[in-house]
């Protein structure tokens, strides 16, 4: 009688046994949406290599495309923000007043600095040096609005680009691995949902982030190169 009671009280359910294990895990991460306003006052006529001023009556043929996108793979983290540099090229076709293509605008954006707030992942016992720190693309850069208008008496192409990036840090950590019952195919420790800065919903063109940081080459260059980036809900007027 006493032996049976002892066995019953000391039996461990293998489904709930926690086996401490050291693994590489994501310890900090976050995401941020950005709007950037870029300008160009020149275009290159077809058959030429020399940029010239945008002529009266010219317009853009649809939304431009983005090429040559790159992101720095070795970001720095200061005061809880992951700083990255991004580069891309905006390609836009220019048409005359009759709608006939006359040339192309090539707007090169080089080493644009952006700050991504990152947060500690809760309930993770991280230790040791950083194993990996890496930014990643959530919403690929896209031109969501473009036009040719007059700014300070000069015909100017205005491009608005939207993009969202994330960044994470990984270290070693002590995690709890559940010992699985023999009839279980696999066993995965529960994962906590880390906090993130507000992200972008799924968009159609034209598109607007719910919350974002905005850089304007004319009025607020590198506005998003601060920690945390200033958050807004509406794009500024041209």
Question: Scanning the structure block, which residue is given the tokens 């994470």?
Answer: 168
- Residues 6 or more apart whose CB falls under 8 angstroms from that of 120 comprise 27, 28, 194
Of 164, 151, 163, 170, which Cα lies nearest the Cα of 237?
151
SS3 1: coil
Could you give the dihedral angle defined by the CA atoms of residues 71, 106, 59 and 223, in that order, rounded to the nearest 10 degrees? 40
Residue extents of the structural domains in the chain: 2-216
User: Contact 161/141 with Cβ under 8 angstroms?
Assistant: yes
pLDDT tens for the chain, 238 residues: list them: 444 444 444 444 445 677 788 888 888 999 999 999 999 999 999 999 999 999 988 999 888 999 999 998 788 998 899 999 999 999 999 998 888 999 999 999 999 999 999 998 888 888 889 888 899 999 999 999 888 888 888 889 999 999 999 999 999 988 776 665 444 444 444 444 433 333 323 223 555 578 999 999 999 999 999 999 999 988 888 7
For residue 157, give Cα distances in angstroms to 110, 128, 145, 146, 220.
18, 50, 11, 7, 18
pTM reported for the whole predicted model: 0.77
């Amino acid at each position: 009688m006493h032996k049976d009671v002892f066995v019953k009280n000391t039996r461990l359910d293998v489904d709930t046994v926690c086996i401490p294990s050291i693994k590489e895990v994501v310890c900090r991460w976050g995401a941020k949406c950005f709007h950037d306003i870029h300008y160009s006052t020149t275009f290159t006529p077809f058959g030429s290599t020399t940029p010239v001023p945008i002529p009266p009556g010219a317009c853009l043929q649809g939304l431009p495309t983005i090429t040559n996108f790159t992101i720095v793979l070795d970001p720095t983290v200061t005061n809880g923000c992951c700083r990255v540099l991004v580069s891309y090229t905006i390609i836009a076709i220019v048409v005359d007043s009759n709608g006939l293509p006359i040339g192309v605008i090539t707007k090169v954006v080089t080493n644009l600095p952006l700050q991504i707030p990152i947060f500690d992942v809760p309930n993770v016992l991280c230790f040791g040096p950083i194993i990996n720190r890496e930014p990643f693309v959530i919403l690929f850069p896209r031109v969501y609005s473009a036009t040719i208008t007059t700014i300070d008496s000069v015909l100017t192409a205005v491009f608005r680009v939207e993009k969202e990036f994330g960044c994470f840090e990984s270290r070693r950590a002590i995690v709890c691995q559940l010992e699985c019952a023999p009839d279980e195919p696999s066993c995965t420790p529960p994962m906590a949902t880390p906090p993130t800065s507000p992200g972008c919903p799924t968009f159609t063109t034209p598109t607007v982030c719910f919350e974002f940081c905005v850089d304007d080459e004319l009025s607020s260059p590198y506005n998003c190169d601060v920690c945390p980036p200033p958050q807004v809900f509406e794009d500024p007027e041209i």
